[in-house]
Amino acid sequence: ESKDVEFLIRCSYLELYNEEIRDLLCNPKAQTKCELKEDAQKGIFVKNLTDVVVESKEDLEAMLDKGLGNRTVASTLMNSESSRSHSIFTIIIEMTSKDKDTGKEMIRAGKLNLVD
C-alpha cells in the first residue's frame, strides 16, 4: 500500500528586517530582492524566495542552521547577539498517491510556518 505513496519535502527561510524581506537560504553575496506578491492561483507569496528540496531530517536541520547563520543580529544592553528581525522557516510536505477505486492521482499538501 505505501509503495504507491511518494513524498516531497521543501523548505524556505525568510527574514523581515527594516521592512525588507531577505532570503536566508540563498548565497548572501548573490542576494536578490524578495517581494511580497499576490496571485489568483498561488495566493500571497514571496517572489524570488529560495525553495530547497530536502530528503532527510538532517537536511532540514542543515537548512535551518544555514538560515540562522544568515540572520541579522546586533548587540543590545540585555543580549550580546539579539535578533534584530522576524523570521519564518516554512516546511512544505506534499504527498502523492493513487486512489484505489478510480486510479486517479491525488495530491495532499501541508505547510508549517515556524515564526520567530
pLDDT tens, 64-102? 999 988 887 665 555 665 567 899 999 999 999 988 888
Cβ–Cβ under 8 Å, residues 51 and 26: no
Residues 6+ apart with CB under 8 A from 72: 15, 17, 22, 83, 84, 85
**11 has pLDDT over 90:** yes
Average pLDDT, whole number, for the chain?
87
**32 has pLDDT over 90:** no
At residue 98, the pLDDT reads: 87
Count other C-beta atoms under 10 Å from residue 113's C-beta. 10
Count other C-beta atoms under 10 Å from residue 70's C-beta. 18
**pTM, full prediction:** 0.81
At residue 31, the pLDDT reads: 73
